[in-house]
Each structure stands twice: as C-alpha cells, then as structure tokens.
Structure 1
Amino acid sequence: ASSSELGAGEWLFREGDEGDRCFIVRAGRLEVLGAPEKSRIRTLGRGAVLGELALLTGGTRSASVRALRDTELVTIDRKDFEGLLRDRPEVSLALTRSIAGQLRENTSGGDELEPLPGVIAIVPLDQGARIAEFARSLESALSDHGAVRLLDHAVAGGNYSAASPVATFGPLLDTAAADSDFQVLVTDSADGDWRRFCLQQADRILAISGGGADLSGMDLAQLRGSDLVTLIKSGETQTDRRFTTTLAPARIYVVRDPEAGSDIARLARRLSGSATGIVLSGGGARAFSQIGVIEELLACGIEIDRVGGVGMGAVIGGMLAMEMGPDEIADRCFDEWMRRNPLGDYTFPRQSLIRGRRLEAMLARTFGQAMIDDLPRSYFCGATDLRSGELVLFRDGSLADAVSASFSPPVVAPIAVRNGQLLTDGSLTGGLPVTDMAEQNEGAIIAVDSRFGDSEQAGRDGQEVPGILEVFSRAFLVRSDSGNRRRTPSLLIAPNTGEVGMLEFHQLDRAREIGREAARQALEKAGDSTEAEE
C-alpha cells in the first residue's frame, strides 16, 4: 500500500477507466458521480473504501470520483488486494457487505440522503465572526443531542511535525471521537496545518460571517460548498451577502444572537438530524386548514425548523418561515383574501383569467423585501417549469418573487417568465415535495395535504356546480397528484376539507378548525402507534 494526495476538484478516476487499484480515504471528502449529467450518487469521508468493485469483477470503473476537499488516500494495487482477501477472510466479508449496501442504495430509486455530520469545523470568514463565542454556544446546544468535544488550536497544542497534518493531529481527533458524538473543530485563518486538518476532516464546514472586515490571506476556494452561517447583530434585518456567490453554500443559517439561544438551538437540531420540517401542499382556500395544523403542532410543543411548500402552501409557509404565529397568519389571510380578494382583477383571457396585479400587490404587502436567505426558519418553495415539466426549487432570493412563481395557477393567473423558464403553480409537479426536503436528512417531516378533502361528496344531487375558476383549479390539482415526490413523510396530515371550495376564501375560520382537528387526530394516532411499538 502507498499514500497519495488529491487536491480539491481533482479527479481520482472517471467512469470507464481501468480498475487496477482500490483506495481508503485517510482524510478529506470525495463525491461519487454517475450519469446522467454527473449526478451525485454518494459522498465519502474518512475510512471509506472505494474502487473495490472493479478489482473484484475485473471490470472498468462504474462511476467517477472527484475530491470535494484536499484528500489523503491509501492506495492498494491489485496484487496486494488479492493477497489481503486470501489471507484475511474477514476483509472479504466486510467488502461483500459494503457492496451489498451500495447495490441496495442504487436500486432503491431514492436519492442519497446527506449523511449526518460527526466532525464539524468552524471557520471565520471575517473579523466580526466571534468564533470563540459561537463555538461555545454551539457546543452547549449540541450537547442536548449527544456528547460533544470542542477542539481548537490551543487544545491541539501546536505540536507540529514534518509529517502531514493527519499524522500530527489525527490521534487527537480519534481520541475525541471514541467518547463523543460530535467533534467540533475550531480554527481561524492563521492556524496553518491545524486549519488544513480541520477542513480535511470535517463532515460539515460552518463558514461564519459576522459582517466585519475581510480576513487577509483567506482562500475561499477551499470553503466552496460549505454551510454559511451569518451572524446578525441586534437591530439588523439582513444578512451579509458578500460570500453567497463565492461560496455557493449548501445551506445558509441565520443566527441573530449566539447568546440568545433560539437560533443556535435550531442550528444544533438541524446538524444533529433532530429538526422537524413541514411540507405544505396547494389547495387554494383549503390550504387555510394548514394554519390550524400549524397552530396545533406548536401548541403541542413541536418546534418547526424547516418549511417547504407549493401553491397556496408556499404562501402559508412563507409567513411561517418569517416566524409569524398562527393568529398573525390568519389575520393576514383575512385581510388579503377576504377583504381585498387578490384574484378579483379579471381580464380578457389571452394568457390568464386575472391580470395578477392584485396578487403581486398582496405578496408585496405580505412579504415586503424579505429574502429567503434571511429567514429564521429554513424555507423553500417550488414552481413548475412549463418548458421542461420539472419542479424548480427556490431556496434563496426574494421571498415574494419565489412565492409568486409557486402560486400562479396556469390559466387562472399569469405565468412568471424568469431565466428562460415559464414558471407556474408548483402543485402541478410537486403536490407534496417531501423528497426535496428529505434529501438534506435533517429530521422528521410532517406533510400537510389540503388539496382534495372528502371525495365522497362529489357529484351528489343538489351539490352546487363550481364556477370556472374552481373548475380550472381542481383540474390542475388532479394532475398534480401524480407528481407527489418519492419519499414518504414521517407524519401525513390530510384535513378533510371537502366542505371548503377551492376559492371559498370566506371559509377561513372553518378551514382553520378543520386543520386543528386533523392535526389532533393525526398526533393522537401517531402517539398510539408509538406506545403499541413500545
């Protein structure tokens, strides 16, 4: 066996290459990419074995592998590999189990879930990052979810040697990992080998922006794709956007005051896979039932950390992500949908039945200049691209613009044209986009489906025939049911909204009560199931 290094962005091998060696990851991070369009199959960290399948079968590489960070590898050639299998039967058994697990993942049809981080590196981006204070607060919050070891340059002792950073600091991390669930590595721009070690070893990098002056000598390329944490000082309302383009962060967290605790606690829940998310469907006025569901969940002490939605669910979810409470959301809905009627500006239907000006004004009043990046709760919404038929997700940018694209029923409301895409109601392709939230693997997901109600009432004699807007809305929601995403939620709540018409916004109070009752029943049933399993 021999050692080798791979720089961030470099290819270890490509699909179709000869499989004459296998590798063990000693430090760093790699991604396994497959066709089409080099989609990510999985990520690999310290201790992972790769390339063994081609050695066992004698075939070529079945996927491509590229370094996400500077990576150190142990390389084993074919001769040594065959000798290892011959002399150590337990190695052969372990490899068989590993390959079987990979095959199960590849044939399951689901996308890879982001692995939960064990090693978390904290890196400052500017002089206002307050790293020590932030690290202590995060250590305290993470301790609610497992044992935590905080390691910084002082603990490492500056024990530099001519060997690699892994050889110098690896034993320290191994000792910490043996008796803790989370190892938090704290570094700064001047830590040299310790900083390099932290970036190589981290399962998750938190790059901290505090709005201060830039740090000299900071190589931001090494932090590309990391998580961005923006610290907002008291009285500020917007995050520092200097790094969003440069880093292309995988996630953005907003921490308004590290010592206050609520935002740090939410960050800790997301890092530990304990953050409850809620996914909200469309459904027009029926989506008002989601207000009642949210009200009941919060009353039961359930912290909602992540929000996703399509159609009317994007509207309700956007207000929830801004930390509006159920009463405030209901008041806003009463004012906007019952008093003002944003769907009331009818026009000759060249492209849509309404002009959309009232709708845009309503979204501007509700969300103002809010940016998704600044929201206390993680938020996304989805719109359907009529060109490709795909669901387009909005995870950053203007909240009002994102919601406008997601809540634009085709024919009823004008189509949004952005970046060459024709965007309309996200309910068409993402009735319940659970998978899009589940991919980050941050915790349980509650899905609220308010679309269909009680279908037994449909078509009975004496039933009032719905108007043209109602007909269009129902037709598109029927199509959207085939667009439900692959993964199932931890809990599905389906309010029986059959008595509420799609455009009967005056039934706000009734829909809200239906949502409350549906949530109570679902939570009671879930509790009974848990007790039965125990």
Structure 2
Amino acid sequence: MSGAPDRARTADLMANISPFDALSPGRLEELAATVTERHLERGEILIREGEQGNSVFVVVSGRLRAYVHDGNETPVVVGEISAGESVGEMALLSDHPRSASVRAVRESRLIELNREAFHDLIADDPTALTSLTRTIVERLSRSIHHSAATGRIRTIAILAAGQTTDVNRAAAELADELAAHGSVTTVGRAETDASPAMTFSRRVRDLESQYDKILMIGDPESPEWTHECIGQADRVLLIAEADSSPRLNPIESELLAHADRDARARMDLVIIHRAAQTMPARVEKWQQDRPGVRCFNLRQDSNLGFPRLARILQGKAVNLVLSGGGARGLAHIGVLKALEEASIQVDVVGGASFGSITAGMIAMGRGWEETRDEVVRHLLGSGSPVDVTAPLIALARGARVRQQLVGTFGDTTIENLWLPFFCVSSNLTHGEVQVHRSGPLWQAVRSSISIPGVFPPVRSPDGDVLVDGAVMNNLPVDVMQAFGEPGPILAVNLRSPVDMAAHDLPHDGAVSGWQALRRRFSPWHRDSAMPGIAEILLRTSEIGSVISSRTFESRADLVFHPPVGDYALMDFSRIDDLIEVGYRHAAAVLEENSQVALESHPLLADRDRGSQR
C-alpha cells in the first residue's frame, strides 16, 4: 500500500536520519514533497535479493529484517532496521542488484525516495552525497567486522509461557528497570477496550512518539488481543515461572508452528526463579518444546534478574570473552574483580581453554572471591592436574582434571546457568571450531582445556575428537558476535611474547631427558633454563591462533592485556600474584578508557551515574 505522506511530518522525520540529516529545513521540505508512503503487513517483503533497486526506504514505524540466502536453504539474518533508520541506500548510487532481502517483522510504515529525486537533490546540495557515503561506510564497516545491525527495540509483547498464569508482576518489574534507561508505558487489554474507536496499530504508533519502550501485555483469555500484541512487537518475551508446568499453551503452540520464522519478531523465553534458588533447574524441560528460542534465567530480587534483562533489551549488554593461557588464566579473576569494583555487570560470557573455567564460574553467578576460592579448593588444592601415565596418548591420564572440574562445576548444565555461556574447543575430526552451548558444563570445559599431548582428547556426542580451544581460536570474539547480545564486547587476551626459557637448550637439538631430570633434582645445579614438555605442548597448542587472536581483538570494544609474560604457562602456584596482575591492569584500563567508554557505551555512563547517587 502506498500514498502521499504529510510533508511537514515527513521533513521532521528525515531531519534526524542519515543521509538527510545534513540538509537545511527548506531543502528537506522540498525533498519531502517527492517521497511516497508505504505500508507493510507483518511478513510482507519489501526488497528481494538480486532484484534491481531504485529507491531508499526510511522506517517511520515498525521493524524490518534483512537476510541473505548465502547458498543455503535457510536464510541468514544480517540485520534489523527499526524506526528512524533507512535501508536500500546503495540503490541511490549504483545499478547493482539488491544484496539482501528485506521484509517486515511487524506492521510497518515507510517513506520511499527514488533515485531520480535524490540525484536532483545532490545536484543542488552535495552535502547529501557526503552523508549518504558515511551511512554506507558505517554499514560496510559493520559487515567487515561481522557485526549485524539489530535496530532499537521499541515495542515488547509480554506473554505467558507454559502454564504460567500471571505475567503482570514480571511486566511491572521489567518496566521499573527499563525506566532507568528512558520512558516506558504498559498497555493491557483493558486500556485498549476503553478506546475502541482507535485501531491498535494507530495507538501503538502514537505511543511510540511519546515513549522509548511500550510493553504490551498479552491475555491468555483473549487470543485475538494477544495476536494484536505479537503483530506490533519488535520482541516477544515468553514469561515462565520456573515452578510451573512447561507444557506449551495454545498461543505458544501456534507461534512455534508458524513455518516462516523470518516473518515474526524474535522470541525469548524468560524463566523466573525464586530469590532463594542457588542455581536454575529444569530449564531443559522448558527448552525441549521451544527450539530456536533463546532462554534467559532470572533470579528474583537480584542483579541476576530484571536489571540484566533490561540492559539486554536496551542494547547495553556487557559481553565478556576470556582467552586461554594456562596458569596465566588466573589473571582473569583479577579482571573480574576490577569489573565488579567498577559496577560493570557481565551479561553474556564465553571463553577458550583456561578462560572457559573462569567464564563458567561467572555464568554460575560467582563473584571474583568465590571464583578464587573455588579454584583454590578444587583445581589447585588437589595437586597437579597432570596425573602422569604412559605417554601413548597424552602425558596425563585425565582422571584428576576430570575430578577437579566435577568438584568445581558439579552436575550443572550449560542450560542451567544464570548467564548465557559458551566455550570453544578444536574439532580435529572436521578441522573446525566447536562451540559448546549445551550439556554438562564440566564436560564442555574439559573439552576446551584439552591441551594436545598433555591431556587426552575428548570424544564429542557425535564421535568427533576434541582438543583445546586455543588450538584454533584462543580469543573467540567472533563467536560472541554471533551468540552475544547487542552491547559492548570486552575481551581479555593473555597472549604474550615468546618468553620461554631456552638458555640450557643445546643448538644441536640433542637433549638427554635423564640428564635434565638429574639437573632438576640436584641441589648443586641451578634451575634448568629449559622448557618442560607440558609447557612446550601448551605453547604449541596456542601459538597457531595468535594471528587470529589479533584479528578478533579488533572486533572487541575494549581489550585487556594483563602483563603475564613473566609467569610460566604451567605454574599454578602463583595464583595471588596473577590475580593481582590482572586486577591492577584492568583497573588501569577501565580508568584510562572511561571517557571513551562513556561516549561509546551509555551503559558505562549509567554505571557512573549510579555511583554518584
């Protein structure tokens, strides 16, 4: 559907959108006279990949999703476009076919400007071309860094999941937390029934002009009203009380049976656990009948509850990536301490190799002190993790490190963690990075720390051979970009110069292991300046991903490099020193980058405002 929009209103809208924001009010009025208005129903296609383009579109209200087929039957989402954003700019500069398809996620209104009108504009005002170029460059930059645009979330449908009966309390708590970031209103069936003359879509448009967030509360007794909410939603939250039955309700069954998922807003399952709950439980039962729906575990009355969900919906989630590094990974605990002192709450966490251990503790809701105590008790207090055996497969049998990890993580599964978590291992069978996002936590971490030659490989459920994640990806920022939530990515990279002791290593490469052993235990010889086999294997396992780590660093918003080069890769005895090194470095980096962080990520500004209250 198309038509002529109101000229003054259109000019006001375009004044805040690139590439039109550089134009004078008079020029905007002229341009507004040349545009047409488009109306899309949910699921309607605006642009098809491969077709010739002749127009740029500006979203007045609603939400669009861009996707490519990329040789696959299943389309790959490359971004979302929300109110106040534009799409299709390349058509104004070239005759190239459209690079992606775009369709409406919800009922949407747009304005369309064709190429001829834009060329007339830049002939009189070249600044419009400069602004357009800036917009395209920014979009290409996101593409290079594999960072999809997500668009602002304005409208949120809140529905009951399973046999949960009341979502009003959850909606009220979420509204309170979102109010710290901007204006919020809630809309229920009763309010809409009070003004039957106005269509719901018109009411939502009016509310979007007044509020930053609109929470629309579904009613299981009124499927028609609930579908109205879904049709106007940028995001759908399925609210579940952890103790209730996970059996699908009729609305959920209908939503999940919908064949075309690209035509609907993203759905998230939010499971609310009691304040006294130490760890989530039974989450797999909720996920079983809701494939493809991301799950968030919230604990009532804590930082692990609605404050985190509000940050995620606001696009201010803190995503933390921890690299491997053997014993040097103990410095991660110090970085966590600095983040806690700066009141920066982690919302999504992932890691490789030793970084997966600290990441797992963070995902369990542990603070830095608890993490240190657990590491001391289970990983360091029970002796070396290397229980030596006949070195046919590895130096270690692997039983002790398994016992240490089970002691640390118990029978916790990744599904039953407070924070979204992943870790990576290296799949030798297929020569690819294996991302662990489900199953027993200790097993995932065991795969991620399987240093080749030191610990035996792990067999995956599919029968593949898995070894240390650092072999292929020691700093999985790219995985976080795909798996994390909108917001800054913080990365801790423990890479350091090659500083292995080699003074006593002969030039001819001939070394007697027996002689080295005698020197090690002889009171008349100084410590041998020669790397041990475990250290050599660990360094070998991580050296291959050094270059990729540097590349992935550039995709993070803030990178920490604790100076751990003076610490041996297998010396776990210096835990306090390593924690202190990580802490001092991270505290200094946060202080040094505070101004930049404030400008780039309002979350850190919220942190500073909170510390002043």
SS in 1 for 2:369: helix
> 2:183 — aligned with what?
147
1:302-317 superposed matches below 5 A = 302-317=344-359
> 1:121 — aligned with what?
157
Q: Residues 216-249 of structure 1: CA distance to partner in whole angstroms, max 9, x if unpaired?
A: 4542325785111012235554144344244334
Confirm or deny that 1:295 pairs with 2:360: no
Q: Deviation at 1:390?
A: 3.3
> 1:233 — aligned with what?
274
Q: Residues 142-188 of structure 1: CA distance to partner in whole angstroms, max 9, x if unpaired?
A: 11111112222222236557xxxxx8112322222223222222113
Confirm or deny that 1:205 pairs with 2:236: yes
Q: 1:513 to 1:224 in 2, by over 3 A?
A: same
Question: In 2, Cα distance between the equivalents of 1:350 and 1:23?
Answer: 64
Q: Deviation at 1:279?
A: 1.7
> 1:409 — aligned with what?
451
From 145, 150, 162, give the equivalent of 1:110.
Answer: 145
Q: 1:29 to 1:125 in 2, by over 3 A?
A: farther
Q: 1:30 to 1:114 in 2, by over 3 A?
A: closer
> 2:593 — aligned with what?
526
> 1:443 — aligned with what?
487
Question: In 1, Cα distance between the equivalents of 2:597 and 2:250?
Answer: 54
Does structure 1 conserve the Cα–Cα contact (< 8 Å) formed by 2:234 and 2:265? Answer: no
Does structure 2 conserve the Cα–Cα contact (< 8 Å) formed by 1:412 and 1:469? Answer: yes
Question: In 2, Cα distance between the equivalents of 1:85 and 1:143?
Answer: 40
> 2:511 — aligned with what?
none
Does structure 1 conserve the Cα–Cα contact (< 8 Å) formed by 2:63 and 2:108? Answer: yes
> 2:99 — aligned with what?
62
> 2:297 — aligned with what?
254
Give the letter aligned to residue 578 of structure 2.
A
Does structure 2 conserve the Cα–Cα contact (< 8 Å) formed by 1:438 and 1:487? Answer: no
Give the letter aligned to residue 317 of structure 2.
A
Q: 1:300 to 1:71 in 2, by over 3 A?
A: closer
Does structure 2 conserve the Cα–Cα contact (< 8 Å) formed by 1:383 and 1:426? Answer: yes
Q: Residues 190-230 of structure 1: CA distance to partner in whole angstroms, max 9, x if unpaired?
A: 43443223223322221112243453454232578511101
1:219-230 superposed matches below 5 A = 219-221=254-256, 225-230=266-271
Q: Residues 421-464 of structure 1: CA distance to partner in whole angstroms, max 9, x if unpaired?
A: 43222222322223433454533333222242x65686568872
**C-alpha root-mean-square deviation of aligned residues, in Å?**
3.8
> 1:173 — aligned with what?
204
> 1:425 — aligned with what?
468
Q: 1:60 to 1:438 in 2, by over 3 A?
A: closer
Does structure 2 conserve the Cα–Cα contact (< 8 Å) formed by 1:428 and 1:483? Answer: no
Give the letter aligned to residue 105 of structure 1.
R
Could you tell me the TM-score, scaled by structure 2's length?
0.74
Could you tell me the TM-score, scaled by structure 1's length?
0.84
From 496, 509, 520, give the equivalent of 2:563.
Answer: 496
SS in 1 for 2:490: strand
Identity of aligned residues (%): 28
Question: In 2, Cα distance between the equivalents of 1:87 and 1:530?
Answer: 40
Q: Which moved more, 1:304-313 or 1:14-23?
A: 14-23
Q: Which moved more, 1:341-350 or 1:280-289?
A: 341-350
Question: In 1, Cα distance between the equivalents of 2:572 and 2:566?
Answer: 12
From 370, 373, 378, give the equivalent of 1:328.
Answer: 370
Question: In 2, Cα distance between the equivalents of 1:52 and 1:509?
Answer: 54
Q: Deviation at 1:263?
A: 0.9
Q: Deviation at 1:381?
A: 1.5
Question: In 2, Cα distance between the equivalents of 1:129 and 1:410?
Answer: 51
Count of equivalent residues: 522
Q: Deviation at 1:338?
A: 2.9
Does structure 2 conserve the Cα–Cα contact (< 8 Å) formed by 1:21 and 1:75? Answer: no
Q: 1:344 to 1:122 in 2, by over 3 A?
A: same
Give the letter aligned to residue 284 of structure 2.
R
Question: Where does structure 1 lack aligned partners over 5 or more consecutive residues?
Answer: 162-166
> 1:30 — aligned with what?
65
> 1:132 — aligned with what?
168
Question: Where does structure 2 lack aligned partners over 5 or more consecutive residues?
Answer: 3-37, 259-263, 505-526, 606-613
Question: In 2, Cα distance between the equivalents of 1:129 and 1:397?
Answer: 30
Question: In 1, Cα distance between the equivalents of 2:82 and 2:101?
Answer: 16
Q: Which has the larger radius of gyration?
A: 2
> 1:510 — aligned with what?
577
SS in 1 for 2:459: strand
Q: Which moved more, 1:26-35 or 1:96-105?
A: 96-105
Q: Deviation at 1:504?
A: 0.8
From 461, 480, 489, give the equivalent of 2:545.
Answer: 480
SS in 2 for 1:247: coil
SS in 1 for 2:68: strand
